[in-house]
Amino acid sequence: MNLSYFIAKRIADNKEQSFSSTIHKIAIGSIAVGLGAMIVSFLILRGFQDTVKDKIYSFSAHLQLTKYTLDNSFEEVPISLNTEIFTNPEDFPYVRHVQEYSHKAGLIKTEDEVLGVVFKGVSSRFDTANFNTNLIEGRFVEFDTEDYSKEVVISKVIADKLDIELNEDILVHFFQNPPRVRRLTVVGKYETNLSEYYDNKFIIGDIDLIKRLNDWPDSLAGGLEVFVNDVDKMDEAEEQLNATVPLDLYVEKVSDKYIQVFEWLFLISRQVNIFLGIILFVVCVNMVSIILILIMERTQMIGLLKSFGGTDALIRRIFSYSGVQLIFKGLVLGNVLGLTICALQYYFQLIRLNPADYYMSYVPISWNWEIVIALNLLTFVIVTLIVALPTAVIARIKPIKSIKFD
């Protein structure tokens, strides 16, 4: 039998001494609260990152291909769709989906208001499965095989500004020479809460309408949007795509195009990492203090063990085992606490947010079990190593003085 473990277990099971029991509860509670706070923080952080990124990627994909141009005009220089990436995307293992798009500036005119917008033209290849998470009313555009569709999807922001209802006709004036007007029907409303990037500007319709206005053949489009299989390998996908597309095409990551949003997410991540360090520091300080208190409380026991021939290493292992038991119980309770809070927020959305500031209406939770396991391992390893430090004072305890210690 492991003598150190046996004595440590007897100490932990001893419920007669209320002070020792209270110290154990404080130790377990401090670890549980610390781990619970870390789990909640990181799952919320991942929720923020995933929610914002998914909104951006659902609207603009992961990579965009456009024509190289020095013109600052909003009018797009068209690219040919007769490229390998568009005609045979299956030949590119890192590509999940490719779709064409075009933009055209215009005005929505109602009886009382006028608002400048950007008409984003898409085709039946548009990834509606991703975008439908942004739809809050109605449906997406149904494409006409014989002529261009006269249906559009507008944002809730634009609809509220112009007091436009679902299934209502709107007049869109397109900027060109000569100007042209089209009567379109609103069949859906979307909301990404990324107002400065999408909701304040974009309405979505049929790309064939833009081709008709620009006198483009079916083989041209304003650009291509590419979805990759693995977002974490987007840099590699960008490099490979750059090496294969014609030299007059420019490949850009959407994360670079909207770099302000992604830098904001990085800053949040850095703050949470700092928060993690502070919590671990506090937990470690608490555990050091608690182990020192337990050593002082058991000073007479240490003296007796030394007088019976117990080595410093044996006695240090006793308190190390005691510390590990407290850590393990704290981790179990911390997981229950943190995951319960996250589950309540995930299913009931108790904590609400201002979408104008946070791009979402409630605090999101993203279940990532790798993070939970990593936090458990990190807490266990660091606190266990720190717990060994205060046991060094055992070597300075003299048996004669410790037996008389009161």
Could you read off the pLDDT of 258-312 as tens digits, one per residue? 999 999 888 888 888 898 899 999 888 888 888 888 777 777 777 777 777 777 7
Q: State the average pLDDT for the chain.
A: 88
In this prediction, residue 48 has a pLDDT band, given cuts at 50, 70 and 90, of: very high
pLDDT tens, residue by residue, 148-189: 999 999 999 999 999 999 999 999 999 888 889 999 999 999
pLDDT (average), residues 5-23: 68
Q: Is the pTM of this model over 0.75?
A: yes
Residue 350 phi/psi, 5-degree rounding, is -70, -35
* 278 Cβ neighbours under 8 A, 6+ residues apart: none
Q: What distance in Å separates the CA atoms of residue 209 and residue 230, rounded to the nearest whole number?
A: 33
* 44 Cβ neighbours under 8 A, 6+ residues apart: 342, 345, 363, 364, 365
- Determine how many CB atoms are found less than 10 A away from the CB of residue 167: 10
CB 385 within 8 A of CB 81: no
Contacts 24+ apart (CB under 8 A), 211-216: 211/102, 211/121, 211/148, 212/148, 213/104, 213/174, 213/176, 213/180, 214/78, 214/102, 214/104, 214/176, 216/78
Give the distance, in angstroms, between the CA of residue 140 and the centroid of all CA atoms in the same chain: 27
133 bridge partner residues: none
pLDDT of residue 6: 74
Q: What distance in Å separates the CA atoms of residue 136 and residue 125, rounded to the nearest whole number?
A: 21
pLDDT (average), residues 98-107: 95
Check residue 197 and report its DSSP letter. I
Check residue 352 and report its DSSP letter. B
Q: What distance in Å separates the CA atoms of residue 3 and residue 5, rounded to the nearest whole number?
A: 5
CB 106 within 8 A of CB 116: yes
**Structure tokens given for 316:** 């240090």
Element (H, E) at 117: strand 114-122
pLDDT of residue 73: 65
How far CA 271 is from CA of 35, 100, 353, in Å, comes to: 17, 38, 19
- The candidate with the shortest Cα–Cα distance to 104, out of 120, 82, 81, is 120
